[in-house]
Amino acid sequence: MKWSISNWDYSVHNQRCIYLLFTLMTSFSTDWLSLREDADHRSRNSFLQEQVLKYLEKIGSLKNSPLHIVDLGSGTGSNLRALAPLIHHHQKWTLIDYDPLLLNAARDKICAWADSITDNEHHNDDFTRPITLVKNNYEISVQFLQKDLASDPQFGISESVDLITAAAFFDLVALDWLERFCKALKSSLYTVLTYNGKETWLPSDPRDTEILEAFHHHQGSDKGFGNALGPLALKTLEQLLKKEGFQVETGSSPWVLNPNDSLLIQELAAGTAKAVAETNLVSYEIAKQWGEQRARSQQCEIGHDDLFTIYKKN
């Protein structure tokens, strides 16, 4: 078990008991997820998101039942809270994560976010019991599944699903896992905020290049799925999907952080410095100094990309 991993490892949310930012405590992980949620939501590529909504509107017009959406590495349910209010149709969401504490936190956060709860049986803190809620006059049922996706890339991706979603997930997986996932995929896929390796911190610092190179090395370490693809993930996913006959659209979704994001910048800098120091490619002192300086930065841009592909039955 690793003691800490980098900041962008959040979307799989502690697969195989890996936890975030210097701690094994899931409570801290939920704090980190809450801290970054606003930046995540505003950074999504608006063009691709609109394509997804048009697709779901078309699918919804053809069926009487709720739209079924599966969210991989769901954490505390941020993906649902971002997308569900924009969908003008009744919905069924299945949230899949390895960590039961994060799934329980997801349940609590979603209940607090809902306009009303129509069914919320919650006996003995059993996060596996589904809930039914209302948001913007549409009914949403939510199911919570604890599953180690690393052991089964085919789980939850059947043809009965209208859309599979994920956020900051695919940069954590290994090539062989992704190959198996793409071969098995029989649903449309919408994934957001996959780290692409591009970073700009202001003002610039001579140490930025070596820090970033070391961070990329850390991104390629095992995050529970084998050696992670890291910044290569989105391009690799795109290529594999095209090989399987999918038509793929991608779009940029960078975090553009400013003084209003000072707490997020501080945690981002600290987590990056810690990850870099773990590689031994940069001395502990240089990593520490860089992290302390960057914690005071007023602006930075962290590159991500989104991807959307529609599954077409033969």
- Is pLDDT at 27 greater than 70 in this prediction? no
Of residues 141, 53, 143, the one with CA closest to residue 95: 143
H or E segment to which residue 80 belongs:
helix 78-83
CA 164 to chain centroid, in Å, comes to: 12
- Specify the range with the lowest mean pLDDT, choosing from 25-29, 34-38, 282-286: 25-29
Q: How many CB atoms lie within 10 A of CB 185?
A: 21
Give kind and range of the element (H or E) at residue 199: strand 189-202
What are residue 202's phi and psi, to 5 degrees?
A: -120, 140
Across the range 135-156, mean pLDDT stands at: 89
Query: pLDDT tens digit string along 245-302?
Result: 999 999 999 999 999 999 999 999 999 999 999 999 999 999 999 999 999 999 999 9
Tokens of 46: 């608006």
Q: Tokens 């709860």 appear where?
A: 117
**Tens-place pLDDT, residues 95-143:** 999 989 899 999 999 999 999 998 766 544 567 789 999 999 999 999 9
DSSP code at position 243: H
For 220-240, what is each residue's pLDDT tens digit? 988 888 999 999 999 999 999
CA distance 123 to 128: 10
Amino acid, res. 310: I
Average pLDDT of every residue of the chain: 88
Listed by start position, the domains of the chain span 7-309
CATH 3.40.50.150 at 7-309, yes or no: yes
Tokens of 105: 């936190």
